[in-house]
Structure 1
């Protein structure tokens, strides 16, 4: 058994909340399974089959959509980063097969193919689909140095706590980062798209310290519903349910305040 992903869930009765269970995704041979476990996986590398509940096979078609020749075929290299679908969101509820993971991957492929036709220096370079036996197993991008989150906040401080200690950052450097991201967002918006998940982890830095916008899994056309679209708590307005350009611009303003230590200007709750 090889653990591929896990997500912990906390109970809501006590304060602070206590650990309830984990969703774990693991492989055995060429097959991938999802299950629940009461084990704390962040403290335990091995699991016994007796510790697993609600075990279910995840079929290939549920997370590896068929490749179309209208998409770009990529060859992965050492200079590539391959983004693969997150399987911890796979649902075993219902009688019909859950293909939402595959559908989300295809949605992102469509966006990335458009960006490949309309490139921008502050948007990640998309090299195409990784293919195995006619199915898309991942999306290949140019590899970048590190994220803005990792560069500025390696200690993983909470947003407010980090902002309260970030006043010492070079304001000219911060302005250059914000301008580069804003240019990338405006380019997206002219294509009729909204990123919808702008946060410091989705901004990479290249070797020239230029900001690079990544992760288009939540990108939707302007006006499209955001129901069931994943976004990062603390970096968006919970009341907004559609893709509007203001979503990105408000998130960028939040990042600007976060970097410059303007705690009173932070708007979004974590």
Structure 2
């Protein structure tokens, strides 16, 4: 965290690292933290006690877990950029019309964060991907669409910070190739990913603006490649995606 002098506080960073690890692992013991964080066990114990005392963690049988108060913070953050019910309705309609998964995401600190997802099916609670809500920009459809809206310096700063990790054999990891694709995306108004994020998955994404032309977020739709070929992705799904984007932008006051 930055204080008034622009310095960062190591103690706060450690506490936040603890929270991130707990969210990633859905609960950890002090001994497990001791293996993950290079700090004295006594110091880790103090951080954990403070987070429990402030009600951001709960301790159950020696395991630290996220509290419901922590969830309330997330809900409050969502309200800052939340989709009102009519927008959620349109995204659900897009899923119903296509039979594919639609996601609304926002750009924050160079990362793509999922705000709302609609698949039209009951999720499998054992699917780890279900709980992934933060993504890179260079290999996601909405992420690439958002990058295409940014100036080169901004894109460079994001790539410098987060890199371009290869998540599949098809992930673009070369900046010049990415910049070339961003020019194409800017010209046609939507982005495509073809197994760049996960093997066998394809998607199309576009940017949603408010009535002042500011970027509100990104909307994407996609699914398994065995039922979505490139022709359908570029024609049917891209058309339906852009139609939904246009509807959302016409009703931009519903987007906070």
Do they fold alike, i.e. is TM over 0.5? no
Structure-2-length-normalised TM-score: 0.33
Which structure has more helix as a fraction of its residues? 2
